[in-house]
Structure 1
Amino acid sequence: MAREGNASTLAAYLDSGAPVDLTNQAGDTLVMLAAYHGNASTVRSLIARGADVNRANDKGQTPLAGAVFKGSDDIVEILVKAGADPTAGTPSALDAARMFGKDEYLSLFGA
């Protein structure tokens, strides 16, 4: 549901007690899947329900780094406003922005 962007159905599950930081076998949280697949409304919904925006998956990747990798401007901004740390993870969102020449992200990150 997070991957497909079905925010309303996912919200109903979460509101019924499903853990907001539920992970798959790779350690990807719901917010990571939503961010990576460009589902801004789902990312907002998960953040509003307390999702950890800095939780890395088993490879050390954070939702913010995934959004930078995918070039999802709106999601990068949403995550930063929610307190995502651009230096967290491996590679970090900051490293990814430098690697891909995303100067607008570097500016947003204060780098």
Structure 2
Amino acid sequence: MADRPTLDDETLAFAERMFDLARHGDAAQLQTMLEGGLPANLRNSKGDSLLMLASYNGQLDAAEVLLTHGSDPELANDRCQTPLAGVLFKGDMAMLELLLTHGADANGCPQGGKPPLMYAAMFNRTDMLERLLQAGADAQATDADGKTALDLARAMGAQDAITLLERF
């Protein structure tokens, strides 16, 4: 990843307050800040966007505000994870729906990452597997190691996911 600019303490403190607004779901304050020019895709030192933090922490209203103001649901962090990865890890179906509605790619996979279906498979989230498949996720897609969602479900012992994915 490219070098990031060095920021002064005041700017860093402001940015941290914005990340806290996203984590804690202060949708009204985020709305005000976005209308005032806050970049919708602001990222922290780990590459987590405001949307990543809001979605991972289940802050549906904050995520909606961010998406409405142009947050990119496909923006990956430094671990090659998009907001869908965190949502699938947490099992938040409402957030999954919101992200898909706002353009998150059911097959989206940043360089070096895993397609969303793999996260749902590993954590045995069959309702989310079914929703991703309905949204066009490819059950045969592979990660950088050549593994499919079924392979990862088997490695994790995710029996319900295995049963579902064996049909594809």
Q: Could you state the TM-score of these two structures normalised by the residue count of structure 1?
A: 0.94
8 Å contact kept, 1:62–1:92? no
Higher RCO, 1 vs 2 (CA within 8 Å, ≥6 residues apart):
1
Report matched runs for 1:11-90 at 5 Å. 11-89=31-109, 90=113
**Which protein is bigger by CA-based radius of gyration?**
2
8 Å contact kept, 1:66–1:93? no
Q: How many residues align?
A: 111
RMSD, aligned CA = 1.1
Shift of 1:100: 1.1
Amino acid at match of 2:39: P
Shift of 1:56: 0.3
Q: Give CA deviations for 1:47-81 in whole Å, capped at 9, x if unaligned.
A: 11111001000110110111010111110111011
- Aligned partner of 2:24 in structure 1 is 4
Shift of 1:102: 1.1
Quick one: distance in 2 between partners of 1:77 and 1:54? 14
Aligned pair partner of 2:125 in 98, 102, 105: 102
What's the secondary structure of 1:13's corresponding residue? Answer: helix
8 Å contact kept, 1:53–1:62? yes
